[in-house]
Amino acid sequence: MPFIHVDTLNYQNKPILLCTIQNENNDSVCIGVCNTPPPLTLRDFQRLTIYLDSFALYLKKSPKLQLIATNLNIVPWSSEFRTFKTTSNLFSSRRDNNEGINSSFFSIPNNEILFSNLVECTSFSVIQDSKNKTIGIFGKYQFKKSN
Protein backbone atom coordinates (compact mmCIF):
# COMPACT_ATOMS: atom_id res chain seq x y z
CA MET A 1 0.00 0.00 0.00
CA PRO A 2 1.50 3.33 -1.01
CA PHE A 3 1.76 6.34 1.27
CA ILE A 4 -0.52 9.09 0.00
CA HIS A 5 0.29 11.59 2.74
CA VAL A 6 2.94 11.87 5.45
CA ASP A 7 2.88 14.54 8.13
CA THR A 8 4.36 15.42 11.50
CA LEU A 9 2.30 17.38 13.98
CA ASN A 10 4.19 19.16 16.69
CA TYR A 11 2.39 19.93 19.94
CA GLN A 12 4.56 21.23 22.80
CA ASN A 13 7.71 20.06 20.97
CA LYS A 14 6.42 16.48 21.03
CA PRO A 15 6.08 15.14 17.49
CA ILE A 16 3.16 13.03 16.35
CA LEU A 17 4.00 11.06 13.23
CA LEU A 18 1.10 10.52 10.83
CA CYS A 19 0.83 8.80 7.49
CA THR A 20 -2.10 8.00 5.27
CA ILE A 21 -2.10 4.90 3.12
CA GLN A 22 -4.65 3.68 0.61
CA ASN A 23 -5.62 0.10 -0.16
CA GLU A 24 -6.71 -1.40 -3.46
CA ASN A 25 -10.34 -0.43 -2.73
CA ASN A 26 -9.27 3.23 -2.30
CA ASP A 27 -9.99 3.11 1.43
CA SER A 28 -7.74 5.59 3.25
CA VAL A 29 -6.19 4.74 6.58
CA CYS A 30 -4.50 7.29 8.83
CA ILE A 31 -1.85 5.69 11.03
CA GLY A 32 -0.17 7.65 13.80
CA VAL A 33 2.44 7.29 16.51
CA CYS A 34 2.85 9.52 19.55
CA ASN A 35 5.01 9.32 22.65
CA THR A 36 5.17 11.54 25.71
CA PRO A 37 7.48 11.56 28.72
CA PRO A 38 5.98 10.49 32.04
CA PRO A 39 4.13 13.34 33.76
CA LEU A 40 5.71 13.82 37.18
CA THR A 41 4.18 17.06 38.45
CA LEU A 42 0.76 18.66 38.37
CA ARG A 43 2.05 21.03 35.67
CA ASP A 44 3.17 18.01 33.59
CA PHE A 45 -0.34 16.54 33.83
CA GLN A 46 -1.84 19.89 32.79
CA ARG A 47 0.47 20.01 29.75
CA LEU A 48 -0.39 16.42 28.88
CA THR A 49 -4.10 17.23 29.04
CA ILE A 50 -3.65 20.18 26.65
CA TYR A 51 -1.53 17.99 24.34
CA LEU A 52 -4.11 15.19 24.27
CA ASP A 53 -7.02 17.63 23.83
CA SER A 54 -5.29 19.21 20.81
CA PHE A 55 -4.49 15.83 19.27
CA ALA A 56 -8.02 14.52 19.88
CA LEU A 57 -9.55 17.54 18.14
CA TYR A 58 -7.24 16.99 15.16
CA LEU A 59 -8.24 13.32 14.95
CA LYS A 60 -11.93 14.13 15.30
CA LYS A 61 -11.73 16.37 12.19
CA SER A 62 -10.18 13.59 10.12
CA PRO A 63 -12.78 11.46 8.32
CA LYS A 64 -10.22 8.73 7.63
CA LEU A 65 -9.93 5.51 9.54
CA GLN A 66 -7.37 5.84 12.30
CA LEU A 67 -4.95 3.52 14.04
CA ILE A 68 -2.86 5.30 16.65
CA ALA A 69 0.02 3.70 18.55
CA THR A 70 0.68 5.57 21.78
CA ASN A 71 3.17 5.47 24.60
CA LEU A 72 1.81 8.20 26.84
CA ASN A 73 3.40 6.90 30.04
CA ILE A 74 0.09 7.09 31.91
CA VAL A 75 -2.10 4.28 33.14
CA PRO A 76 -4.99 3.27 30.85
CA TRP A 77 -7.58 4.13 33.50
CA SER A 78 -6.33 7.70 34.01
CA SER A 79 -8.84 10.47 33.39
CA GLU A 80 -6.49 12.02 30.81
CA PHE A 81 -6.40 8.84 28.73
CA ARG A 82 -10.12 8.09 29.07
CA THR A 83 -11.01 11.66 28.04
CA PHE A 84 -8.66 11.44 25.05
CA LYS A 85 -10.30 8.22 23.86
CA THR A 86 -13.79 9.64 24.29
CA THR A 87 -13.01 12.94 22.55
CA SER A 88 -11.21 11.28 19.63
CA ASN A 89 -13.79 8.47 19.28
CA LEU A 90 -11.09 5.80 19.50
CA PHE A 91 -11.15 2.42 21.23
CA SER A 92 -8.48 0.51 23.16
CA SER A 93 -7.04 -2.68 21.72
CA ARG A 94 -6.22 -4.02 25.19
CA ARG A 95 -9.89 -4.58 26.12
CA ASP A 96 -9.89 -6.88 29.15
CA ASN A 97 -6.54 -8.29 28.05
CA ASN A 98 -4.21 -9.11 30.93
CA GLU A 99 -1.55 -10.75 28.76
CA GLY A 100 1.94 -9.71 29.73
CA ILE A 101 0.81 -8.04 32.94
CA ASN A 102 2.06 -9.26 36.29
CA SER A 103 1.27 -7.90 39.72
CA SER A 104 4.25 -5.54 39.86
CA PHE A 105 3.64 -1.79 39.93
CA PHE A 106 6.34 -1.44 37.26
CA SER A 107 4.47 -3.66 34.81
CA ILE A 108 1.39 -1.44 34.50
CA PRO A 109 0.78 -0.92 30.77
CA ASN A 110 1.48 2.58 29.48
CA ASN A 111 1.30 1.93 25.75
CA GLU A 112 -1.72 1.23 23.60
CA ILE A 113 -2.97 0.88 20.06
CA LEU A 114 -6.18 2.82 19.54
CA PHE A 115 -8.54 2.32 16.61
CA SER A 116 -11.64 3.91 15.11
CA ASN A 117 -15.07 2.33 14.85
CA LEU A 118 -14.51 1.51 11.15
CA VAL A 119 -12.34 -1.48 12.05
CA GLU A 120 -12.23 -4.19 14.66
CA CYS A 121 -9.26 -5.52 16.57
CA THR A 122 -8.96 -9.22 15.78
CA SER A 123 -5.84 -9.89 17.83
CA PHE A 124 -3.75 -8.11 20.43
CA SER A 125 -0.62 -9.33 22.16
CA VAL A 126 2.18 -8.08 24.35
CA ILE A 127 5.66 -8.80 22.99
CA GLN A 128 8.17 -9.93 25.62
CA ASP A 129 11.86 -10.74 25.55
CA SER A 130 13.41 -13.94 26.90
CA LYS A 131 13.27 -12.53 30.46
CA ASN A 132 9.52 -11.74 30.18
CA LYS A 133 10.20 -8.01 29.97
CA THR A 134 7.66 -6.20 27.80
CA ILE A 135 9.33 -4.78 24.69
CA GLY A 136 6.29 -3.91 22.60
CA ILE A 137 2.72 -4.61 21.59
CA PHE A 138 1.17 -6.01 18.42
CA GLY A 139 -2.35 -5.76 17.06
CA LYS A 140 -4.22 -7.03 14.00
CA TYR A 141 -7.19 -5.13 12.58
CA GLN A 142 -9.71 -5.62 9.83
CA PHE A 143 -12.32 -3.43 8.21
CA LYS A 144 -15.81 -4.03 9.55
CA LYS A 145 -18.21 -5.55 7.06
CA SER A 146 -20.66 -3.03 5.66
CA ASN A 147 -24.34 -3.90 5.96
User: Is residue 69 within 8 Å of residue 33, measured between CB atoms?
Assistant: yes
At 122 the three-state DSSP class reads strand
How many domains does one find in the chain? 1
Cα gap 48→45, rounded to integer Å:
5
Positive or negative, the CA dihedral 73, 63, 118, 65 is: negative
| 126, 130, 146 from 57: Cα distances, Å | 29, 40, 26
Where is pLDDT greater, at 102 or 92? Answer: 92
The pTM of the full predicted model, rounded to 2 decimals, is: 0.86
What is the identity of the amino acid at 83? T
Number of H helices, E strands in the chain: 2, 8
What pLDDT does residue 97 have? 47
Calculate what percentage of the chain has a pLDDT beyond 90: 61
At 85 the three-state DSSP class reads helix
Cα gap 76→89, rounded to integer Å:
15
Mean pLDDT of the chain: 87
The domain that holds 88 is classified in CATH as: 3.60.10.10
What pLDDT does residue 107 have? 59
Write out pLDDT tens, residues 111-139: 899 999 988 999 999 999 999 888 899 99
What pLDDT does residue 62 have? 79
What is the identity of the amino acid at 121? C
The domain of 110 spans 3-143
